Structure 1
Amino acid sequence: MMENAQPHQQSLHSLVRTQLVVTIAAVYTSSQVISPLLCFLAENPQYITELRKEVTECTNDTEDIDSSKLYKMDACLPEALRLNPPQTSELLKDGVVVPKGALVASPATALCMDPAIHPDPYLFSPFREDNARMPVTTLTRNKLAFGWGTQACPERFFAAKEIKLIAARILMDYDIEINPEAQSMRRYYDVEDLRVLNPGIRLQMRRRAQNPLQREDKA
């Protein structure tokens, strides 16, 4: 950063600010997928059973999970992103020419909740045909959580792997339930074009009595 900074970017304040922005992009976006995903799963525990079975079938150790084999978990990610996208608008580059200086974004949330594209859009249904047919990192015009075209997130492959591994480890190590008080709470807040999970929502987590992948020397 110091080597590539322009003269006006070389101050300590500027460098720290830039690093914080990079940290937000790297950490905030991943946490804003994992948190809603766990909430949706806690409200639909039938999927937790299937996801745990998938993990046990691909490994015998929670510290050595092959994320490429977590197909059902992969199908859950676009559904969580559809219902709770980190951003309500996304960059789109498809050849359309716009005036210089114009601000342009595509309505990601409207596309995500369009019943003509996603039947019964308010239902958390991770095994929809398009979710099961292609990985979350595959870009389509109807799924803009990672952007589109040359503006698409270049680190989406790492992010998807990271999210799947964290979610799998949590589900294998803990039983999760959503706090009953959260049932009547607003799910998210829109701050400019960011969609933020309501921080008042609480998950109740308890370490599982038995984890089939828990080594005896770790018990």
Structure 2
Amino acid sequence: MLFAHILAVAIPCIVSLVAALHLSRRRIYPLPLPPGPRPLPFLGNALQLDAKRPWLTYTAWGKTYGKIIHSRILGIDLVVINSENIARELLDKRSAIYSDRPVIRTNELAGLAFNTALLPYGETLRRHRKIFHQVLRAEASVSYHGMYSRHANELVVNLLDATSDMQKHTEVYTGSLIMAVTYGHTARGHDDPFLARAHELVDIAKHILSPERAAIFAAFPFLEKLPIWCFGGAYALMGRSRELCQQLLNEPFDEVKTQMANGIASHSLVADFLGQCDDDAEEDTMKAVALMAYIGGIDTSTSTLQIFLLAMVLYPDVQARARAEINQVVGHDKMPCIDDRASLPYLDAVLREVLRWCPPIPLGMAHATLNDDVYGGYFIPKGTVVMVNQWALSRDEDTYPDAARFDPDRHLTADGQLKDNFVNHFAFGHGRRICPGRWFVENSLWTAMAAILAVLRIDHARDSNGDKVEVKPEVTTGMVM
């Protein structure tokens, strides 16, 4: 029996190893692949990566091999773009080739197959994006302006409690605002059951959905048949993720249906949708879109607000200038609102610089090629995973001189006007997979920043002697920083 058990485990291992070794052999292409570090047999460049901060490794490789580089992880081809111009050339101008997503097996194993961000290019994705466009496009976001302000004012009141956790309050702001818009749900603080479950799901997802994390299942497919508890670490949480997904897909959605049946539903995306639809299949699509609107924005928006607060502590001159602009335009006797945005270009520049200085998703969301392509004399095969290294873009000294410094002026012309269109900011992605909720995100972030600066002064904490406590600009790791 023991021998049979060993064979049952060993044979799939050997088959998978042989298959992976076959994948790692040098293929013959009509042109060279983009340059990159020399891979080891089978493992490729896996051992050369900083596992926690791969964007730093890719940035360093870019300085050696160029703005577009090739690497291989366990037989998977990766092309990493370290240039915004190249990203625009390929992902925007050749979007018909670069609009697919790689197969991230951890996404499906964790119950997240409905995830709009990782859907393959096709009809299901088009249905998702059509709904997103209808409810979150620039024109539609106007109806949420009052909601932005109410939640931003609550955030300011909560931040006045100096002894509390600032991150908790920024999480509640982003989470409760999106829940209100999506489901008409009034969150009851950080302990709200919907918020708590969503945060737990996001915490799991951001550690297991990267191509590097998923590569082990592509190389060894038999691993999927093993019990979840065998894997340890974040992988062991995939079972809990599946449970959370089912709860979050159904419970808030069903709550809206019940409220509508009783005539007490608040205005929301889901309520508007249900008022026009009687198709169960479309309901399933709306469930997925509603949950993705929530989990897709909560962590990135929270991260952005945390980076904003950090920058305001480290760069008090920027904070003072942004506050002075608000006081001059809006005055001291009322709160700024989204209608004031066009008259506050420096504050908009601060928001753009927050996203530039520390992009919340440093490697963006991976793309995949639908066909072979050639760029700059290099061959990019069909099925290649293509990632835009947003960290490298943010630190490109040719585009952003003294890139490590937080400087909103780099987004302004000499006469103080904004240089370009904010919705094209690289932090929102590229091509046909650009963030469909970017107008809602930027308005909610801008409103929160305006409210904070209008009321609060952000400064160093003080120790028992009255001396300021130095702040170290450190961030967490994972798909979202």
Q: Scaled by the length of structure 2, what TM-score is found?
A: 0.34
Deviation, 1:163, is 1.0
> 1:200-219 to 2 correspondence within 5 Å?
none
2:360 is paired with a residue whose SS is coil
Return the alpha-carbon distance in structure 2 between the equivalents of residues 96 and 161 of structure 1.
38
Return the alpha-carbon distance in structure 1 between the equivalents of residues 315 and 433 of structure 2.
34
Cα separation, partners in 2 of 1:181 and 1:53, compared to 1, 3 Å:
closer
Q: Which string of whole-angstrom CA distances, capped at 9 and with x for unpartnered residues, describes residues 88-114 of structure 1?
A: 112469997454543221111111112
Return the alpha-carbon distance in structure 2 between the equivalents of residues 72 and 103 of structure 1.
37
The one of 294, 297, 302 aligned to 1:31: 302
Return the alpha-carbon distance in structure 2 between the equivalents of residues 35 and 62 of structure 1.
21
The one of 234, 248, 251 aligned to 1:16: 248
The one of 437, 440, 444 aligned to 1:158: 440
1:189 aligns with 2:476: yes
Range moving further from structure 2, 96-105 or 74-83:
96-105
- How many residue pairs get matched? 182
1:54 aligns with 2:325: yes
Q: Which string of whole-angstrom CA distances, capped at 9 and with x for unpartnered residues, describes residues 29-75 of structure 1?
A: 21211111121112111122221222223324206452232211111
Amino acid at match of 2:446: K
For structure 1, which runs of at least 5 residues remain unmatched after alignment? 5-10, 196-219
Higher fraction of helix: 2
- Identify the residue that residue 134 of structure 1 maps to in structure 2: 420
- Identify the residue that residue 40 of structure 1 maps to in structure 2: 311
Cα separation, partners in 2 of 1:144 and 1:56, compared to 1, 3 Å:
same
Identity %, equivalent residues: 24
Return the alpha-carbon distance in structure 1 between the equivalents of residues 480 and 470 of structure 2.
21
1:159 is paired with a residue whose SS is helix
For the Cα contact (< 8 Å) 2:349–2:409, is it kept in 1? Answer: yes
Amino acid at match of 1:42: V
Return the alpha-carbon distance in structure 2 between the equivalents of residues 129 and 62 of structure 1.
25
1:88 aligns with 2:362: yes
Structure of higher CA gyration radius: 2
For the Cα contact (< 8 Å) 1:52–1:172, is it kept in 2? Answer: yes
Return the alpha-carbon distance in structure 2 between the equivalents of residues 172 and 15 of structure 1.
39
The one of 118, 126, 130 aligned to 2:400: 118
Cα separation, partners in 2 of 1:88 and 1:63, compared to 1, 3 Å:
closer
For structure 2, which runs of at least 5 residues remain unmatched after alignment? 1-113, 115-126, 128-242, 250-287, 374-379, 462-467
Return the alpha-carbon distance in structure 2 between the equivalents of residues 145 and 40 of structure 1.
17
Range moving further from structure 2, 161-170 or 61-70:
61-70
Q: Scaled by the length of structure 1, what TM-score is found?
A: 0.69
